Chain A
Amino acid sequence: MKLTSRYEQTSCRLELEGLPDVSAGQGDQSLGILTGFSLALAGHTELEGKREHLQALLQVVMPYARHLLSGVARPFGDEVSPVLIAPHDQGHQLMLRSSQPNTEPLTLQLDDAELADLVRCLDLRRRGWSWGRSKGTSTRASLRRRSRQRTRSASSASSS
């Protein structure tokens, strides 16, 4: 049975989909194996993807935050990475590349507060769910962008 968990910060909402990890003795209501996610960044867009895409996002955003904490603001990811984050214009530019042909990369500009919200949501990976088993899907597979643009402003979104 598919389970979902939702985590919200003021400008960010992360929804995880998955299954209980019965091999780890988890109950029916524990999301143990992640299969997909959606990430809504208020005022920007809403993204959907599989486990691998979230993993790619974590692989650049978390070290970026870690270095920023040490006063080293430097890009993570490169021109072939599915996700790239770099300091830009007193904020942070997140670039998501699609492997779908003829699809322009999606570029999002985050301020410091939005980055902190995103990091806090992504931190929730520490709450016990695993990556599950890899099925060999390329991490370059695209993050799908939901067609609808989010209209509500960062300030009106509720905080968890």
Chain B
Amino acid sequence: MADAPVQPQRSLSRRGLERLDLLLLSAEALDLNGGEAMVWLSEEMGLTDLFPNRVELWKRRCSNPLRRTTRRDRITEAEADGLIRILNALADRLYPMLRSLLSSAEPPQLSEQRWALFRGRLQELLKERFNPRRGGVQRLLDPQEGPQLCRELIQTMALSAGPGGFTRLKASLMDAAA
């Protein structure tokens, strides 16, 4: 019997990379120290070979085509896995906050205030770092479409937490059309 073909390494598609970076940005919107937490978690999880310092971590995230200053080099599968692991750890850390945003048991007024705060911070970060001419960015900034997209980001983060979160999120990002 012929040997099975060697599976080529699969990195994230353009769409997958956009989603992953948006989720990391959402973590920064939820936690003012989110950027620092990423660096710290990367060191904590032994990812210093992939991301030796915060600049390298930043460069990998800038492979996202939606960024204002984007990099053309594609990230490797190992680097994408590293970023997904960081997001998984961030989602775990932020889980109580994610849960309170998604819960219908929270007082509606308080819930709306929390959502407004999150959306406001995310929009600030988007305007600062992302290309406003991109359709994906405009949809997130749109007052009609934006809130539902923000909810989807938070729901994705909540389901990306936990022991199975890495596998779930990676499979979902791999699904994303190129």
Contact = CB atoms under 8 A, between A and B. Distances in A.
Interface string A103-115: 0000000011110
A15 interface: no
B76 interface: no
Contacts of B162: 119-120, 123
B contact residues, range? 20 to 34
Interface stretch (A17-25, A26-34, A47-55, A63-71): A63-71
Interface string B150-166: 00100110111111110
B168 A113 contact: no
Interface stretch (A75-83, A129-137, A139-147, A151-159): A151-159
Contacts of A153: 105
Nearest to A67: B172
Contacts of A43: 105
B104 interface: yes
A127 B100 CA distance: 26
Nearest to A122: B164
B22 to A, nearest CB: 13
Classify chain A's interface size.
20 to 34
Interface string B130-168: 000000000000000000000010011011111111001
B102 A111 contact: yes
Contacts of A114: 103
Given A113-B158, A116-B161, A119-B162, A69 B168 contact: yes
Contacts of A68: 155, 159
Contacts of A124: 163
A8 interface: no
Interface in A34-48: 43
A109 B132 CA distance: 39
B161 A69 contact: no
A155 B161 contact: no
B24 interface: no
A32 B175 CA distance: 34
A123 B163 contact: yes
A113 B164 contact: no
A114 B100 CA distance: 10
12 contacts: A43-B105, A65-B168, A69-B159, A111-B102, A112-B102, A112-B158, A113-B104, A114-B103, A116-B155, A116-B158, A123-B165, A124-B163
Interface of A: 10, 43, 62, 65-66, 68-71, 91, 111-114, 116-117, 119-120, 123-124, 126-127, 153-155, 159
Interface of B: 95-96, 98-100, 102-106, 152, 155-156, 158-165, 168-169, 171-172, 175-176
